[in-house]
Structure 1
Amino acid sequence: MSGGHTTPVGGANPPEGRTGRPPLTERRKAATRLEIAREAVRLFTAKGVAETSAEEIAAAAGLSVRTLWRYFPTKESCVWPLLTAGIDNMARALRTWRPGQDISEVLDEMARTGDDIVQDMPTLLVLVRMTRTEPGLRAVWLQAHDDAEPVFADVFAERAGVPGDDLDTRVRAAMINGALRAAFEHYAWRVADAGSVDEDGLAETMRAALRAATRGVSH
């Protein structure tokens, strides 16, 4: 396989909804995937996606190309772990959402459990900025949210005690999913300094989006 692999990625390491602490081997694999993602973004930022090869990404992460392809099917999909970390955290936080509670308060739970995400936030913002001009990365970003929607729907269905394919829960999931994506893009595309993150500003943007999505919708 060569560095010219292209998207789509559908299903590369999707959110699993797993509970509890994963085994050590899985944690090591997750750490490896995340390191690959960081190096991929660094190279994509410096050279552009088209000019970055899979061989370069593998070398930067200290891996062989053969090993890289065991983790990801395309060079663009190498960024997947950075995109899904926040989505996975949101799904966990939604499970703590109490009836009658403002949904924006779910973000407080995300902040409480998302220290690792904060560490990678500058890199993630750079990545989301690139999705405006890099179609391959845009496809991965949209796929990550597409895969997240049924996860969110399952959370709402569990809360309501209805089947996961219930239309109401699917619509709620789509609203929340769309709000999160729009909020993050809005913030990422408008931050002047790519090297800094105003966590309060990002949180407020996401709260505003969630409130807009659920305005007039009962819990």
Structure 2
Amino acid sequence: MSHEQKRTGRPPLTERRKAETRLEVARAAVRLFLANGVAGTSADEIAEAAGISSRTLWRYFPTKDRCVLPLLTGGIELTAQCLRSWRGDQGVAELLEVMRQRADGFVSDRTSLLNLVRLTRIEPGLRAVWLEAHREAEPVFAEALAQRAGLPCPDLATTVHAAMINAALRAAVEHHAFNTDPADGEQAGRLEAAVSQALQVAARGFSS
């Protein structure tokens, strides 16, 4: 392990570059899908828009639809990080504050994410990717909650709580995306308010 990795805990530069490339592919894919639909967009067009070769794109993603996945995994990992740092003596208000503070780094991709969620209403393939991302997130959230509770692995309660948090996050983002007009632009704080309200509703079903 390099001195930089030991000091910062950051992934190697090559991995960061790969992650940045995947994210740029996702942004390009959403732009093209919005303009032309998934069926009307080729993998070659996505690769060209992202500044990579088609061969590189297929190394990163098995299908066109899954090109959008990096826009989803960032927010899910952010939530997992916040859950891992959420102490047992803290309530939902503290969790929401940590999420608000850490969300600043994802502001630049908010519009792309919301446009992607809007597309899931009319593009079944993208809907499947959106739901699959949340399905994969649930055990990650459960592990974080088990750690918070001092358990070696998730029990039924933490598994249910993870499902509630996961559903609340998905419902909040969908509700916001489906009920706002992209032509009006994204008003600061509205998405965060929806997420906050959804998590508070979910929290009424379990203790802090």
TM over 0.5: yes
**5+ long unaligned stretches in structure 2:** 1-7
Aligned pair count reads: 201
TM-score, structure 1 length as denominator?
0.87
- Cα RMSD, aligned residues only: 1.5
Query: Where does structure 1 lack aligned partners over 5 or more consecutive residues?
Result: 1-18
In structure 1, the residue matched to 2:57 is 68
Which whole-Å CA distance do the structure 1 matches of 2:159 and 2:205 have between them?
17
1:132 partner amino acid: R
Matched, 1:150 2:139: yes
**How many Å apart are 1:194 and its aligned residue?**
4.3
Amino acid in the other structure paired with 2:196: R
List aligned pairs for 1:127-206, cutoff 5 A. 127-194=116-183, 196-206=185-195
Tell me the secondary structure at the aligned position of residue 189 of structure 2.
helix
* SS of residue in 1 equivalent to 2:122: coil
CA-CA distance at 1:76 after TM superposition: 0.5
Q: CA deviation at 1:98?
A: 2.5
Q: Of the candidates 23, 32, 41, which is equivalent to residue 30 of structure 2? A: 41
Asked if structure 1 preserves the Cα contact closer than 8 Å seen for 2:161 and 2:206, the reply is no
Name the residue aligned to 2:5.
Answer: none
Q: Give percent identity, aligned residues only.
A: 60
1:131-186 Cα distance to aligned partner (Å, 9 max, x none): 11100000000011011001000001111122324111110100000000000000
**Is the Cα–Cα contact under 8 Å of residues 122 and 195 in structure 1 kept in the other structure?**
no
Structure 1 window deviating more from structure 2 (196-205 vs 128-137): it is 196-205
Measured in 1, the distance between the counterparts of 2:83 and 2:122 equals 32
User: What letter is aligned with 1:85?
Assistant: G
Bigger relative contact order, structure 1 or 2 (CA pairs below 8 A, ≥6 apart): 1
* Higher helix content, 1 or 2: 2
What is the TM-score of this pair, normalised by structure 2?
0.91
- The whole-number CA distance in structure 2 between the counterparts of 1:129 and 1:184 is 10
After the TM superposition, which of the residue ranges 145-154 and 194-203 deviates more from structure 2? Answer: 194-203
1:93-132 equivalent positions in 2, closer than 5 A: 93-132=82-121
CA distance in 2, matches of 1:164, 1:130: 36
Deviation at 1:64, TM superposition (A): 1.3
Write the letter of the residue equivalent to 1:91: A
Corresponding residue for residue 3 of structure 2:
none
Deviates more, 1:103-112 or 1:113-122: 103-112
Which moves more between the two structures, 93-102 or 138-147?
A: 93-102
C-alpha distance in 1 between matches for 2:21 and 2:202 = 35
Question: Which of 60, 63, 68 is the aligned partner of 1:79?
Answer: 68
